[in-house]
A and B are shown apart, each in its own frame.
Chain A
Amino acid sequence: GQNIDQPTEMTATEGAIVQINCTYQTSGFNGLFWYQQHAGEAPTFLSYNVLDGLEEKGRFSSFLSRSKGYSYLLLKELQMKDSASYLCAVRDSNYQLIWGAGTKLIIKP
């Protein structure tokens, strides 16, 4: 079967750095996505990785290792508005998205 694993919940301090991990086992691989979802709102796109390595976009970076079936999302200089759920999704060989259950990130002052 296909599986995406993420921690259920993480807590971090405002101004700090946090790394949210995602491991996957899927039928094929055509890219990995990270979405942010604030409570009661729709998911919004954060990042996309298809090749190994680090993609940086402002305070957010995403890393991919295809051989290890592993990705992480790195959030720097945390702000209170970063409190949200972070969803990892992998596009499989049929170009269907397989979604993780999401990691709820709590930021404390």
Chain B
Amino acid sequence: NAGVTQTPKFQVLKTGQSMTLQCAQDMNHEYMSWYRQDPGMGLRLIHYSVGAGITDQGEVPNGYNVSRSTTEDFPLRLLSAAPSQTSVYFCASSYSDTSSGANVLTFGAGSRLTVL
């Protein structure tokens, strides 16, 4: 069981370039999400998905696209990178987004992105 696998771990982009952060999970989780983590701020939700074929916007979706063609994969695309997108990005998954119980998120190792 690999859990949540994110690639790449580090990436440097120039302003205006595009790229895709990959995320895959092997736990058969329905719910997958992308967060960004910036110094002095809490994790902020970018996009999320409650199942294959379904995606929705989080708190800070502008400049990012996602798709969920399979249960396992949830890539995050930066359309035209900007310095404000310099951040650490985490992919996370869980069994469901709506649960009365402790629906725990499992995080990937993170991707550190620098936009020059």
Contact = CB atoms under 8 A, between A and B. Distances in A.
Interface residues on B, range: 10 to 19
Interface in B10-59: 40-45, 58
- Majority secondary structure, B binding face: loop
A49 to B, nearest CB: 9
A29 interface: no
A98 B104 CA distance: 14
A87 B108 CA distance: 16
Contacts of A50: 100, 102
B109 to A, nearest CB: 5
A41 B58 CA distance: 23
Interface string B72-101: 000000000000000000100000011110
The residue in B43, B98, B110 that gathers the most chain A C-beta atoms within 10 A of its C-beta is B43
A95 B100 CA distance: 9
A97 B59 CA distance: 11
A62 to B, nearest CB: 11
A45 B98 contact: no
A30 interface: yes
A96 B109 contact: no
Given A95-B97, A95-B98, A45 B43 contact: no
Interface residues of A, number: 24
Interface of A: 4, 8, 30-31, 33, 35, 40-45, 48, 50, 87, 89, 95-102
29 contacts: A31-B102, A33-B104, A35-B105, A40-B110, A41-B109, A42-B90, A42-B107, A42-B108, A42-B109, A43-B90, A43-B107, A45-B102, A48-B104, A50-B100, A50-B102, A87-B42, A89-B43, A95-B97, A95-B98, A95-B99, A96-B58, A97-B45, A97-B105, A98-B42, A99-B43, A100-B42, A101-B40, A101-B41, A102-B42
Interface of B: 40-45, 58, 90, 97-100, 102, 104-105, 107-110
